[in-house]
Structure 1
Amino acid sequence: MEPLAGKVALVTGGSRGIGAAIVRTLARDGADVALTYLRAEHRADRVVRDVTAHGRRGLAIAADSADPDAVTAAVERTAAEFGRLDILVNNAGVFPYGSIEETSVRELDHTLAVHVRGVYLTIRAAVPHMADGGRVISIGSCFVERVPYPGVALYAMSKSALVGLTRGLARDLGGRGITVNVVHPGSTDTEMNPADGETADTERGYIALGRYAEPAEIAATVSHLAGPGGRYISGTSITVDGGFAA
């Protein structure tokens, strides 16, 4: 049985890492999936081929999540080509690192543009296309729950904004049965933060389970929220961090 059969999803930043795993998992579970990407067209096309291998429709859209017009256009194109939009996953992100003294105004503005403004505007564009019972899921960070080392204040601040947005929109959209949630991943084995990277041993030391997550483990929680099992979960944060914040 495919729990997402007949559904259409849009995943921002879906060409690699956690985003690509989410795209593949939603397609495996029956959804047609569009994804946005910034530069790596060949990676996005490869993920689309994986979607079609499941017998679903896939679509890759070049869109910078820091560009208000681009994120709105990505939503409109998804709805136009697939005829509907049921699931929105806000995954696109950047990872600024450094002290507050080292952080430029340009980096501050860009981080907030991607993690806060871009998410807000993508949801604003998507909601009119959603039937009652739609799903909005944003990807936050374990740093919202715990920040054990320096250099990530800007990142943690920008991801923390998603918690307030999620709670507020759960109230705004609850009357239509649209659920709104945020998933906070912990250290996950991706190109951005590989399990064999320079800081990996240090990060594992903070994790109760002592290992990195696989991207598919984060995607499994997203798919659950998008499916029948998630219809009474709204306005909350779900942490998938192996006990990082324990």
Structure 2
Amino acid sequence: MTAHWPWAVRLALATAFVPVYYWWCKRLLFTGARRWAHRFTKDRRYDRSEIGGVMELSAAAVSHVLAVAVLLWLTGLPLSAIHLDSLDPVLLVLGVLVGIGEMGIASFLCRLVIEASLHRPGRPGRPGRRGSRLPAAASAGTARLGGPRDVGGWIAMSRGGWLRHHFKTVEVLPLPLAVTVMAVQVGCEETVFRGVLFGYLGSAGLPATLAVSVVLFVLMQCFFMGSWRAAMFPMVGALVMGIAHGLLFWAVPALPPLIVAHVTFFLFAVL
């Protein structure tokens, strides 16, 4: 429908889609999932948060499929334009390796951010700007304001927000089913941020299309996260993945290997 509109208008439409769907629509979905969770907690093996996490992720997966269908209708792109039919076994295996590599790079960058935060001047329990240490009481109070004081605290914080429903789903559902639900969700994200956006905005060239795709992909990760520290992990991962997948998709327009890479990345993150 809108494929022949001016590029600036298409950019505005694509940009508006991210907060409208990934923030507003999913906020309604998650609220509804939590309200329904208590109806399925008669089995005392799982509490409401665990059931709610499974329902949130399942609802998100289904809504992602519908969102892709709506986005294809709005943009007027044919299904062939997003290159979902590329099932070369070699590329799929390479997708696994790409996902492992992205996890390694993202983990390294996150560790750099954590170490920089823990060792910054004036950090509680470390020498301040004048070389003195804060009293224990003041240090504890500042720690609450300044965030985690060790790597374990950062990792614990990263398990909150929207990432929580991935961890809960893995805990509750059989692993094959949990992986299937996650694969549907992240597969749709690859379809949106690589397949659709590159097909819809690609006429502007690689730099502009890649920049828009990466910025929107990273922005989406901070939704429903309690703080920048909690959002740091998925945002850094999205930055690494967005750049790598964008360049790969531009060079070799094949979406399934990138979906495999995304799923592999997530499996290493939650298992």
Q: TM-score, normalising length from structure 1?
A: 0.32
- Structure (1 or 2) with the greater helix fraction: 2
Larger Rg: 2
Q: TM-score, normalising length from structure 2?
A: 0.30
- Structure (1 or 2) with the greater strand fraction: 1
